[in-house]
Chains A and B, each alone.
Chain A
């Protein structure tokens, strides 16, 4: 049977600000705190990057833990009952979502970027002054973050116990992650380093300047593999992809299946060479040497006229010029005809063979590639970039070095939270 809805109110005819506080009171209080944050933002500018630098973040952590622990014996008090109530959490979640919506709609600047130098004369626009361009380092966001940490911490402390383990794992896990991410932000160090092949580098580059680090990287070799390139049709009158730049017609070269269609043409890849050098007038031959290019001998047949065209294609590199194939004089829909060309191949793997030396005497020899960072002391070394114009011939490799002493706390949080999520997924409620 479908019962009629009853609207339960724990206190009938409750007046505003009469206990227990609900959604309106939560919204007013959180709104007031956020307005305070905006005033601070307007007057003080963005939060200083080192606001929570060591050991201030440790003190903050201690204070947050103490406040949370206090919540347990004082759980019957009005303050903590309100702080851990559903209305307060819901309004907090909604406020966070609103700030994230701003971030999702207004392109954000890097959190530590200097507004004046990035924006130039327009930096005094109200949008910028209220922190909407760098939300995560703005005061109102920090105020919300702090309230979330306090509320979540108290909620965890009060609800602690085995019987409510799914609740506990979810809330405690999230709390630890938020603690690690927020309090650790000032301590997190990120450096960029570019090391020449065969050379050693110990200085990080910071916007044109160099800073000495406590570790050095020697680049023994930079290795790169590429996928087979794609074939594209180009309008010779404009030099742009056909039929349009946003949706170009492309044919993936695939040695396993050499035949296919592209635009109005039947394509057959007669020969594909992953590493080749030009030979004679218009030919290519396989050769594993520096400066080799991908090349393919391709036959294209116009499906309307039956006319065939055949020739060697390559996208070229610094040593070998590009080579394309003219496909007839064209018809009414494409008066200039079309040209068949090869695109620049995409990277399959790029990897640096390095040796790392730290000041305290540690040495490590390893390969660093995307998804496989190297740990050296407190540092994690990431493969970042290379000379894309040279591709496999790049003479240098770019690394990103990251130090995050609070990472273990975040990982502990992720571990707990994921168990909580499993609990949510498994345990249905009647």
Chain B
């Protein structure tokens, strides 16, 4: 299944997500979840087909990692929704997954078959998948924290259930992001000789990680310091995360990175 297939499957899954979100708004959460999952399934079918076609895991180019993101995001959204039934959660993951699907259709990257020797490793697949999974979760926490901040500033009240969702998602997302980092470190020792070299990608991953660690620790403070400020850490962390993932090539430090793959 080559990329040409995605010109049809991409918009199809985006349509499923869009309708799914609409159905949730209209008060049919069960049907909405099913539609959102169906969209993820279509994406998964394409990923598997592309994998077979390329003869390697489709995890190397930006376009390929976007595919995984639009697969995991709805999945994480539905799982979280079953536990914390916020409609906006499903709408948010649907919109974001659709954006990435559409991006892949209108801005196809150069999809080269070549997998450079450094990427031929058993760590490759778990490393990228762990990160994609954590990115999906942490994206949801950024939006949830904005919702909580709105509660706080508009009414001076706080939704405890929403806090439970945010804190759990941060814990799980952080666990996954650190597992991604550990697989990356052990892999780096195999491929480049050292487990941590402060490569620009590693440096920004550290900034991202530290930001979420700060949130996690601040929430342990029983004195509950400045809730608005603490919540604001999550969108900031997501900004750093986006710089690490997508924005790195625009920074002056990028040319030195060994993480830049076309």
Contact = CB atoms under 8 A, between A and B. Distances in A.
Asked if A pairs with B, the answer is yes
Interface of A: 2-10, 22-23, 86-87, 89-90, 93-94, 96-97, 100-101, 103-108, 136, 181, 188, 190, 227-228, 230, 247-248, 250, 252, 254, 257, 346-350, 369-373, 380, 382, 400, 402, 404, 407, 410-411, 414, 417-418, 421-425, 428-430
B167 A107 contact: no
Given A105-B251, A252-B111, A424-B172, A96 B210 contact: yes
A250 B113 CA distance: 12
A153 to B, nearest CB: 17
User: Shortest 7 CB-CB distances between A and B: which pairs?
Assistant: A424-B175, A425-B175, A97-B210, A370-B117, A227-B114, A346-B114, A86-B221
B211 interface: yes
Nearest to A85: B221
A227 B56 CA distance: 13
Chain B interface size, under 10 / 10 to 19 / 20 to 34 / 35 or more: 35 or more
Interface string B179-217: 100100110011111111010100110110011011001
B152 interface: yes
A2 B220 contact: no
B198 A97 contact: no
Given A103-B198, A402-B194, A425 B160 contact: no
A136 B221 CA distance: 30
B62 interface: no
Interface in B97-122: 110-118, 120-121
A232 to B, nearest CB: 10
B219 to A, nearest CB: 9
Given A106-B253, A252-B111, A382-B193, A87 B221 contact: yes
Contacts of A350: 117
A97 B117 contact: no
B174 interface: yes
Contact of A5 (B152, B176, B217, B223): B152
Contacts of B192: 382
A100 B158 CA distance: 33
A230 B253 CA distance: 29
B256 A107 contact: yes
A348 B117 contact: yes
B207 A101 contact: yes
Contact of A89 (B117, B186, B217): B217
A429 B168 CA distance: 6
B160 A100 contact: no
A105 B252 contact: yes
Nearest to B157: A2
Nearest to B137: A425
Contact of B178 (A4, A86, A252, A417): A417
Given A230-B112, A257-B2, A371-B191, A108 B256 contact: yes
A119 to B, nearest CB: 16
B227 interface: yes
A375 B220 CA distance: 44
Nearest to B196: A181
B221 to A, nearest CB: 4
B120 A370 contact: yes
Interface in B105-154: 110-118, 120-121, 151-152
20 contacts: A2-B155, A3-B160, A4-B156, A4-B158, A5-B152, A93-B217, A94-B214, A105-B252, A252-B112, A347-B116, A348-B115, A369-B117, A371-B117, A402-B193, A421-B176, A424-B175, A424-B178, A425-B172, A425-B175, A429-B171
Contact of B191 (A136, A370, A407, A411): A370
A104 B253 CA distance: 6
Nearest to A417: B182
B31 interface: no
Interface in B1-54: 2
Contact of A430 (B157, B164, B182, B193): B164
B185 to A, nearest CB: 7
Given A252-B112, A411-B186, A425-B172, 5 more contacts: A2-B151, A4-B156, A5-B157, A108-B198, A422-B179
Given A252-B113, A417-B178, A8 B222 contact: yes
A424 B221 CA distance: 18
Considering residues B115, B175, B225, which has the most beta carbons from chain A within 10 angstroms of its beta carbon? B175
A93 B157 contact: no
Nearest to A190: B193
Contacts of B171: 424-425, 428-429
A86 B220 contact: yes
A188 to B, nearest CB: 8
Nearest to B186: A414
A339 B82 CA distance: 57
B206 to A, nearest CB: 5
Contacts of B186: 411, 414
Nearest to A136: B198
Given A107-B253, A425-B179, A348 B114 contact: yes
A7 B221 contact: no
Nearest to A180: B195
A37 to B, nearest CB: 18
Considering residues A250, A347, A400, A425, which has the most beta carbons from chain B within 10 angstroms of its beta carbon? A425
A216 B222 CA distance: 60
A287 B200 CA distance: 44
Contact of A97 (B110, B115, B179, B207): B207
A93 B252 contact: no
Nearest to B189: A407
A429 B167 contact: yes
Given A105-B251, A370-B117, A414-B185, A5 B156 contact: yes
A223 to B, nearest CB: 12
Nearest to A87: B221
A341 to B, nearest CB: 16
Contact of A370 (B114, B118, B178): B118
A135 to B, nearest CB: 8
A257 to B, nearest CB: 7
